[in-house]
């Protein structure tokens, strides 16, 4: 009998569920152990209903996310990438338009802009926060700019007050890419509720991850909400009548049912990520590493939700190898900024255009931060980094 189950993450080959987990970068099987009964019951109900696309489970999730984010409407779709695409489509963005965003992000942020024939215009980041630098952003606005697309990278909110001020001044829409930051707060406001629209991803490795792809757009604007609902079903409101050029991007009921179970646990998981971040801070300090390792910035008025715990280190390759030899997994988010990727070569950017983003790509190292991570594992991470740095000195 084969008890092996695969949660399809691709991070590790599946092992029987009851075997102790090896040290993985993200351990979703540990999370599943705690919610298996609830998830299986939710899946069973959907199977009994045989209602698979949109429908009551999806509507309930939309209501719950709208309430969680603190905005009037939430519209579910097939992925976070589609959420960005649909948000831009709802604004009618296309050829001739420019959208200003960051070059230090996941490809979908700028890809969604380019996919619609519009031009992604990059502005440099602040290497301490990894987010858009507001003065660089202001300098990138032209007469063709239609929107600003800030990313709340790794779970830390972007500098929304200056961004919203710039948008107001130039009459621009703001689309928040909150794919990595569900529940994060900027001066008391939840991400996804501050801009014209907010985009969430339910990719399995995000803080609220489904058993596959999924996404959501949040907004307070009833006209945009209505248009998004039409756009995600082929531009159709009435059967076989197509008022807009839309797409097929809907959320499955099975995903919604699983996400509703997981949403009930999100606050406790976020608190565990924050506790782990705090623990890393104490451990790095105790080991006297704060002059070598730059920890993530976490200003008091911002609530970081730590989808990733990304540090700046010297001699990254050496540290990464030492960690790997001790069986400690790390990742690099992101090895190259988007303006230097082949897919965006047509935009004409060059090495040196965004020095902060470029330097950051050379220095960053993401350490495991998932909620179930133990203190023992964190100590192993920090002592291994200490050993590698001592060696180098
Ligand atoms: C994950 C992610 C997306 C895309 O979400 P998918 O659900 O994977 O399509 C977009 N932007 C950022 C910053 C992300 O991290």
176: Cβ below 6 Å to ligand 1? no
**Domain containing 175 — which CATH number?**
3.40.640.10
Query: Counting atoms of ligand 1 from 1, which one is nearest the CA of 109?
Result: 11
Domain extent, residue 192, equals 33-263
Residues 218 and 330 in one domain: no
Q: Based on the fold, state whether residues 245 and 166 are members of the same structural domain.
A: yes
pLDDT in tens, 103-138: 999 999 999 999 999 999 999 999 999 999 999 999
pLDDT at 21 over 90: no
Which of 238, 263, 288 finishes a domain?
A: 263
Higher pLDDT, 202 or 314: 202
Give yes or no: residues 257 and 278 share one domain: no
Does 145 have pLDDT greater than 50?
yes
- pLDDT for 255-300, tens place per residue? 999 999 999 999 999 999 999 999 999 999 999 999 999 999 999 9
Pick from 340, 361, 390, 292: nearest CA to 110: 340
Is residue 7 over pLDDT 90?
no
7 and 147 together in one domain: no
Mean pLDDT calculated for residue range 329-346: 98
| Residues 6+ positions from 306 with CB-CB distance below 8 Å | 154, 155, 270, 273, 274, 276, 277, 296, 369
- Same domain (yes/no): 165, 279: no
From 237, 263, 289, give the residue that closes a domain. Answer: 263
Query: Ligand 1: which of 177, 200, 209, 250 to mutate, judged by most atoms within 8 Å of the beta carbon?
Result: 177
**What was the pLDDT predicted at 5?**
39
Backbone angles phi and psi of 12, in degrees to 5: -160, 145
Q: Is the CB of 105 under 6 A from ligand 1?
A: yes
- Those residues whose C-beta lies under 8 Å from the C-beta of residue 348, and which sit 6 or more positions away, are none
| The pLDDT value given to residue 20 | 57
74 and 46 together in one domain: yes
Q: Which residue has the higher pLDDT, 10 or 302?
A: 302
What pLDDT shows up at residue 14? 42
Q: Exposed/middle/buried for 18, CB within 10 Å: 0-12, 13-18, 19+?
A: exposed
- Domain final residue pick, 201, 232, 263: 263
68 close to 270: Cβ distance less than 8 angstroms: no
Query: Is the same domain home to 64 and 151?
Result: yes
The percentage of residues in the chain with a pLDDT greater than 90, rounded to a whole number, is 93
Whether pLDDT at 10 is above 60: no
- Per-residue pLDDT of 29-79, as tens digits, reads 999 999 999 999 999 999 999 999 999 999 999 999 999 999 999 999 999
% pLDDT > 70, the chain: 95
Rounded to the nearest integer, the mean pLDDT of the chain is 94
| Ligand 1 touching residue 215 (CB < 6 A) | yes
Q: Are strands 173-177 and 185-186 parallel, antiparallel or unpaired?
A: unpaired
Tokens of 226: 């209505």
């Amino acid at each position: 009998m084969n008890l092996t189950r695969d949660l399809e993450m691709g991070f590790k080959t599946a092992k029987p569920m009851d075997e102790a987990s090896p040290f993985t970068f993200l351990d979703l099987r540990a999370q599943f152990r705690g919610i298996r009964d609830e998830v299986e019951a939710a899946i069973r109900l959907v199977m009994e209903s045989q209602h698979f696309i949109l429908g009551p489970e999806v509507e309930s999730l939309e209501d719950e996310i709208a309430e969680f984010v603190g905005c009037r409407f939430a519209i579910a779709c097939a992925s976070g990438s589609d959420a960005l695409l649909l948000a831009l489509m709802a604004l009618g963005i296309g050829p001739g338009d420019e959208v200003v965003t960051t070059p230090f992000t996941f490809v979908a942020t700028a890809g969604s802009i380019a996919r619609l024939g519009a031009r992604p215009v990059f502005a440099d980041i602040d290497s301490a926060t990894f987010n858009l630098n507001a003065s660089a952003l202001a300098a990138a606005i032209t007469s063709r700019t239609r929107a600003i697309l800030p990313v709340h990278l790794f779970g830390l909110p972007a500098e929304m007050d200056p961004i919203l001020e710039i948008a107001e001044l130039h009459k621009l829409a703001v689309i928040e890419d909150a794919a990595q930051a569900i529940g994060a707060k900027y001066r008391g406001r939840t991400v996804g509720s501050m801009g014209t629209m907010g985009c969430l991803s339910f990719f399995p490795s995000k803080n609220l991850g489904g058993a596959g792809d999924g996404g959501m757009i949040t907004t307070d604007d009833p006209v945009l909400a209505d248009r998004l609902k039409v756009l995600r079903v082929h531009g159709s409101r009435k059967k076989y009548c197509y008022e807009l050029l839309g797409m097929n991007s809907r959320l499955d009921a099975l995903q919604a049912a699983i996400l509703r179970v997981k949403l009930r646990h999100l606050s406790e998981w976020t608190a565990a990520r924050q506790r782990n971040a705090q623990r890393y801070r104490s451990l790095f300090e105790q080991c006297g590493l704060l002059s070598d390792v730059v920890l993530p910035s976490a200003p008091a008025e911002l609530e970081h939700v730590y989808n990733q715990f990304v540090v700046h280190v010297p001699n990254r390759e050496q540290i990464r190898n030492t960690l790997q030899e001790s069986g400690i997994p790390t990742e690099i988010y992101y090895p190259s900024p988007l303006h230097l990727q082949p897919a965006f070569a047509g935009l004409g950017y060059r090495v040196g255009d965004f020095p902060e983003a470029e330097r950051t790509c050379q220095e960053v190292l993401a350490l495991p931060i998932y909620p179930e991570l133990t203190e023992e594992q964190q100590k192993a991470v920090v002592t291994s980094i200490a050993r590698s740095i001592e060696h180098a000195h």
